Amino acid sequence: MPEREPSPALRGAAPGGPSPALVRALRKLLRPLVRLMLAHGVTYTYLADLLKGLFVEVAEQDFRLDDKPPTDSRVSLVSGVHRKDVARLRGLLASAEAIEPSVVPRGAQLVAHWMGHPKYLLEDGGPRPLARLASEGGELSFEALVASVNSDIRSRVVLDEWLSLGVVHLDEAGRVCLNTAAFVPSRGADEKAFYLGHNLHDHAAAAVHNLLAGQPPFMERSVHYSGLAPASVERLNKMSEQMGMKVLLALNKAAMDAEAQDQADAGRDGLPPPEQRFTFGMYFYSERSAAPPPPTDGQEAP
């Protein structure tokens, strides 16, 4: 049986579509985000449903002709989302309701079922330890719990993953016990998530503006080297933190003064309060450089 041809996205380009360089950049950009999503139980199905709403929203708002609202057919053409889904999602956008994915991540479903169904709870309301297999505990087993939520995945796969992530542990009797703190966000997690969205959005928005030849271009620069020892990276990290804080503090003071002056000027002139915003940020990241590709055509590595 002949092997299936890889999809254009995996090959790096689509006929008449994005350039291979752009596809490589998107794969690199999305990789840490996919890692974050998988770590928090956001599956491909969940993300795909979320992206539907975003594709419709951006096509509807940013790809208008003559500043007129596009038809469902045009949004479908631009976004690739089926016209029936476009009509449904545009209705949600118009109603100002939050468009949330309709598919709940499997991990969250399992935990919600475990902590919400009376038969899986102890008298004090805590999650009941479950036998690993249905042959041992019947309905009160981890295998039965997984099957009740999704019969297409083996409970052993979920168990191994959850043991690795610390979501569950095995007690002295070999029963599966839910670590109730595993799905409770750590202190400050919501704030970190807010700045993740805020900072990465503004950085990406500036880079996309420049890539699409927006005028005037935004400042978007970096310094990067790849042949350094760990001690040198640590020294440069401390240096960047010290120098960066000086810049941030100076810019923060200037922005506070400017905001107070702008608000006062608007009030004096009877104008609405100014609403223009900006973000200036900096970051430092380090990892081991990628290993060189393996030799091909029988050549030996140098």
CA 109 to chain centre: 19
Q: Please name every residue paired with 168 in a beta bridge, in sequence order, or none if there are none.
A: 178
pLDDT at 190: 72
Asked whether 20 and 12 are in contact (CB, 8 A), the reply is: yes
| pLDDT tens per residue across span 34-45 | 999 988 888 898
pLDDT at 98 over 80: no
CA pair distance 145, 133, nearest whole angstrom: 10
Cα torsion 32, 36, 37, 40 to 10°: value is 170
pLDDT digits (tens, 9 = 90+) for 222-279: 999 999 999 999 999 999 999 998 898 888 888 888 998 999 999 999 999 999 999 9
Nearest C-alpha neighbor of 102 from the set 66, 152, 52:
52
pLDDT at 177 (0 to 100): 94
